[in-house]
Amino acid sequence: MKGFTYLRKVATLKLDQGKCIGCELCTEVCPHQVFSMADKIATITDLDACMECGACSVNCPVAAIQVDTGAGCASGLINEWLREHNIGGSIGDCCT
Amino acid sequence: MTSVGQIPRIGSKLSFEDDVGACKARWGIGRMDYIVPPGLYAIGHPSAEDPVLVTANYKMSYDIVRQQMANRNVWLLVLETFGINVWCAAGKGTFGTIELIERIEHSELVKLVSHRQLLLPILGAPGVAAHEVKKNTNFTIRYATIRAQDLPEYLDNGMVTTRAMRELTFSLWERLILIPIELVGALKATAVIMAILALVLCIFGGIAAGVAAVTGYLGAVLIGVVIAPLLLPWLPGRSFSIKGAIAGMAWALVFSVFIGRAGFTTPAILAALLGIPAVSAFYTLNFTGCTTFTSRSGVKKEMRLALPVMGCAIIACFLLLIGSRFL
C-alpha cells in the first residue's frame, strides 16, 4: 500500500498454481494487489503486502489459496492466547 | 407496493440526527445499538433492471451507501451484521455467505429484479464465497469498490472497477477518525493504572512524585493511542512497537528534562525513560487492529519479540522507582 509497509516475509499466504483455473477472482477481491495473472494463472507478486484478510481464499472456487486469518490486533491475540490456555478474563477486544 | 409486498423506500439525504449519531458512534456512544433492520430497501424508484447493492446493518455503513446513491434508483439489501461494519463483519463471518443467501431468499429478490447480479463492497469479500452464493441462489456477485464514495463513478462507468477503486488507503483523515474509539477503549485501563500510580507514589514519594507519575503515564498512553497512529507513515521502522517506542521516547526525553529540573533523582528519570516508551509501544502495537495493511502473522511475530521487551522495561522501571526511594 502506498506509504505503508509492514513486516517482511511473515504472511502465511499460499497459492497452489496447479489448481488455479484462471478465474481472476483473487485479483478482484485483494485490496492490496498481491496477485497478478501470468499466462492465465494467478501468481503471488507482492507477498509482503498481504494482510491475511482471507478474501482470496474464501472466494477461490477451487480452494487453491490457503491463508491463516483471524484477529490482527494485540489485544485480540492476547485474548486468543488466554482462551487457548484456559485462563479467564479479557483485556478488551477489537472489531466489536 | 411491489410484487412481493411493501418495500421501505429510504432517502439519500442524511439528517442532522444521522450526523450526530455517526459522531456519537465514533466516540463509542450507543455504538452497539446503532443499527437498522436488515432486509431490502428501495432508494428512488428502482425497477426490475436496476442494480442491487449489499451492505451491513451498522447504521453508519448504511448511511454512507444511501447518501452516495442520491438521485439514483437502486435496491439496497442490508445484511444482519449485528451493527458491525462490513469489513469487521466479514472477518467475523456475519457479513457472510449464509446470511447473504438467506437474505436473498427472504427478500424474494428473484421476483423483484430481472437480472441476477449483486454488487458487494470489496471489503465484504473475506466473508462471502461468491461461488457458493451463485450455486445456491443463481445470483452472481460483483465486488464493486472498496469505498462507497466510488460507487457513483463505478455505476456511471458501466460497472468497471478501476485500480484506484480496489486499492486500500490509510490517509491522515482515515487514521484520525479511528482515534476517538481507541481513546474510549483505553480509558478504563488508563484510569485504573493512573489511580494506582497516584496512590502508591503519593504514599511513598510524596504528592510531586504522584503527579509526575500520572502525567508521565497519561502522556505515554496519548502518544501510543493518538500521536503515533497519526504520525504512522513518518515514524521510522516497519514494526509498530518500534514506531511507538520512538514516539514514546521523544515524550520521555521531554518529560525527563522537566522532572530533572524539578529535582527528581537519576533512578526516577531512568525509570521514566524505560517505562514511557514501553507503554507507548504497547498502545501503538494495538493500533494494528485498526489498520488496513498489517497481517495477523506480522502482529504475532511482533508480539513474540516486543512483549517480553516491554515487560522487562516495565519491571526495570518499577525496580528503579523502588530503588529511587531508598537510594
- pLDDT tier at A93, thresholds 50, 70, 90: low
Q: Least CA distance to A28: which residue of chain B?
A: B143
Confidence check: pLDDT of A87 > 80: no
Could you tell me if A9 lies within 8 Å of chain B, comparing CB atoms?
no
Q: Using the beta-carbon criterion (under 8 Å), do B128 and A95 form an inter-chain contact?
A: no
pLDDT at A88: 67
| C-alpha distances in Å from residue B169, one per residue of A5, B216, B303 | 12, 33, 25
Residues in Cβ contact with B242 at an 8 Å cutoff, skipping those fewer than 6 apart: B236, B281
Which pLDDT score is estimated for A94?
53
Does the beta-carbon distance from A69 to B238 stay under 8 Å?
A: no
Q: Which residues in chain A touch residue B185, judged by CB atoms under 8 angstroms apart?
A: 92
Backbone angles phi, psi at A46, to 5 degrees: -145, 70
Confidence of residue A76 (pLDDT cuts 50, 70, 90): confident
Tell me which chain A residue has its CA closest to the CA of residue B81.
A96
What pLDDT score was predicted for residue A41? 96
The predicted structure's pLDDT at residue B322: 87
**ipTM higher than threshold 0.90:** no
Q: Is B122 within 8 Å of chain A by CB? A: yes
CATH of domain B9-168: 3.40.50.11600
pLDDT of residue A73: 74
Of A5, A28, A72, the CB nearest to B296: A72
B159 touches chain A (CB under 8 A): no
Residues 6+ apart with CB under 8 A from B158: none
What pLDDT score was predicted for residue A89? 65
What's the rounded mean pLDDT across residues A49-67?
96
Residues 40-59 of B with CB under 8 A from A: none
CB contact under 8 Å between A6 and B298, yes or no, is yes
pLDDT recorded at residue B32: 79
Q: In what helix (H) or strand (E) does residue B64 lie, and over which residues does it extend?
A: helix B59-68
B2 strand-pairing partners? B5
Contacts of B61 in chain A (CB under 8 A): none
Q: What kind and span of H or E run contains B120? A: strand B117-120
Q: What is the DSSP string of B128-155?
A: --HHHHHHHH-PEEEE--SSGGGHHHHH
Q: Which parts of chain B sit beneath pLDDT 70?
A: 1, 326-327
**Searching chain A, which residue's CA lies closest to the CA of residue B186?**
A92
Higher-scoring residue by pLDDT: A73, B34? B34
Domain segments of chain B as ranges: 9-168, 173-326
Domains of chain A: 14-69 (3.30.70.20)
Which among B122, B131, B301 is the nearest to A31, CB-wise?
Answer: B122
* pLDDT given for residue B327 in this prediction: 54
Q: Say yes or no: B293 contacts chain A, CB-CB below 8 A.
A: yes
pLDDT at B325: 72
3-state helix, strand and coil shares in percent for chain A, rounded to the nearest 5: 25, 10, 60
Cβ atoms of B137 and B159 within 8 Å: the answer is no
Q: Are A30 and A55 in contact (CB under 8 A)?
A: yes
The pLDDT assigned to B225 comes to 97
- Closest by CA position to A42, among listed A61, A66, A26, A62: A26
Largest CA distance in chain A: 52
Predicted confidence at residue B308, as pLDDT, reads 95
- A85 close contact with B: CB closer than 8 A: no
Question: Which residues on B lie below 8 Å from A72 (Cβ)?
Answer: 288-289, 294-296, 299
Is the pLDDT confidence value at A86 over 80?
A: no
